[in-house]
Structure 1
Amino acid sequence: MNKWNKGIVLIMILLLTTSVFLSGCNESKGEAVAKVNGEEISKSELDKYVDYRKKEAELSGYVAPEMWETEASEGMTYEQQLMENSLQDLINQEVLLQKAEELDIEVKDKEVEKELKQYKDTDDNTDRFKEYLENMGISEEYFEEMYKKGMIISALVEKIVDIDEEKAKEEYEQNKVMYDKVQASHILVKDEEKAKEVKEKLESGEDFAELAKEYSEDGSGANGGDLGFFAKGQMVPEFEEAAFSLEEGEVSDIVQTQHGFHIIKLIDKKTGFEANKEEIIDNLQNAQFNEKAQELIDNAEIEILLELDKKTTEEKNNESQDGEETENTEETENTTDDSPETEEDN
């Protein structure tokens, strides 16, 4: 995966997956919702970005379509909260892109085309890419522009942040327990005799993943026993000790823990500085860039022009009740003045 795709900064990468809406339009920008060092962010840009994020949230299942108008917190609906957060995203992005321009950072279209080949290198990938664009309601041209801005931000990271190897080694030595990991699969059974039966089948050449699906009595069985990567301290001691002592492809003896009897297979091992070097540098780079990016944002001339109508549920209820009371009073007055009973009394 390309470096700029590794979760670089703040909320910027989330933003850059949707910054597609900020370019390529010949339409008038219209009303401004914010200014960043004199450059405007338009209401139409914000609306398009919010629409995208709403669709993204709905497709991900985080927010149901009918929830947008309900109160989320502090007197704001979910949609208003999303709009406020989205505007801050756009402001942050504009600050960083302005800094990149100041440093003469640019990305050629040919570089973008080369990077985008990964989305179309097979027929399946091409189909998935087209399906994504359709689901998100964006064009391929817009996506390319988004990707280009992502590459510009990545180049900015490289330009203003420098992590030397000595600093990376120091980080590893201080936090090696966090970085060193193994990936393992296991077969878990409650009965030792059954564990011995499985072990014999493995020794006779039967497939570990298939036996895990057949015998394992925990949820990992459906995935062939795969537990993914884990560091020390995440598993019970007996299991952890056995897993970290294995070599890639090696299968353990039967290991008893409080959960039952395990047979463990080591899939991958990521231990030592060299194995973790890239991740460590990325982490340090991200942290340092976050600080520098926040400094740029804090020092930018930012003017927010958008006003959101924030009202608490209690205020809204009071307004509703006041409206009902006024309506009821008017109805009562009208009934008193025009009723036949009153005319007869007179």
Structure 2
Amino acid sequence: MKNLKRKIFLAASVAVLSTVVLGGCGKLNDSEVVAEVGEDKITAGVANFYARMQQAQFETYYSGFMGDNMWETELSDGVTYESQVKDTLIENLENMYLMEDHMKDYNVELSKEEKEKITSAAKEFVENNALADKEIVSGDEENVERVLTLLTIQNKMEPAMKSGVDENVTDEEAAQKQMEYVTFSYTKTGTDGTTSAMTDDEKALVKETAQNFVNQLQAAGNTDLDAAAQEADLEVQTATFDSDSTSPDADVVKAADSMEEGQVSDLIETDSGCYVVKLTSLLDREATDAKKTEIVEKRKTDRYDSLLKKWKKDTTVKLHKKVWEKISFIDQGVTLKQEEEEDYAVGSDQNATNN
């Protein structure tokens, strides 16, 4: 059984942490090797410091709604939140070593000023924290400096690796249409605020109401969906879309995508309810321009990912699982007490939180 033993407060230029030591957590041997990337060896000290900084971000921002046992939460069969995050973190570390090995390919190097800032931040961390506190996160000067160096290299390599993609995107490639629509939902809300699916009889009444709304529009030859909705006390919503969109509903998108500008649809029934749609634009300028940016960013990300995949394929990468397993988020809690604005403050990895 794990029992709360003590709280430690770590104040540093890298981060201000509150660490909670729980039963079953032994001292890590920082010199052990967690992984090998070609001829490079990732030590347990470097891996632990990097992992603890990331853990602090996750626990600070997510434990409030995931609960005290967030790391033990099972996301799928046999996969806990801890195991998923740790898989991402060790992959990130391996990638940073690969990027360091390929710096010369992109004429990337650290400036004298950058090196001095990294060294200064590492020294400040060491000076501002007691030995026992630093041991928990492997926070000696060498490990701190090494992690900050790797993160700085990553920040400089990423834009270099993403550069050179084709940034020309035509309106045709990115075209986003716009629709207005009203919904007749098959979901009902109880007096206590909970929602539930309607019965078949209730759905039939909703469908009848929706059909009457469409009939009145068509009988009047009216295409002003907004005015008709206001008269019927219905809410009109707006969405931009292309043929790959699934919101508000894939069947609704399919119907709207085949319509002419200004056209109002017949009744569209889906599993979730009935819809009436008006196609308001064949090319929404703002949404189309935003889609162009999204397409370019995806091209950059694809290039970045493909380079890392290729480098990893060409390099022998070996993970020492037994050593990596010694770094336990369950047995050792770390949260941010506060954050300080620093040039080389460690931030959380966004893809590690997609679950």
Query: Smaller-chain TM-score range?
Result: 0.3 to 0.5
Q: Which has the higher strand share?
A: 2
Q: Given the two structures, how large is their TM-score scaled by the length of structure 2?
A: 0.45
Larger relative contact order (CA 8 Å, sep ≥ 6): 2
Q: Given the two structures, how large is their TM-score scaled by the length of structure 1?
A: 0.46
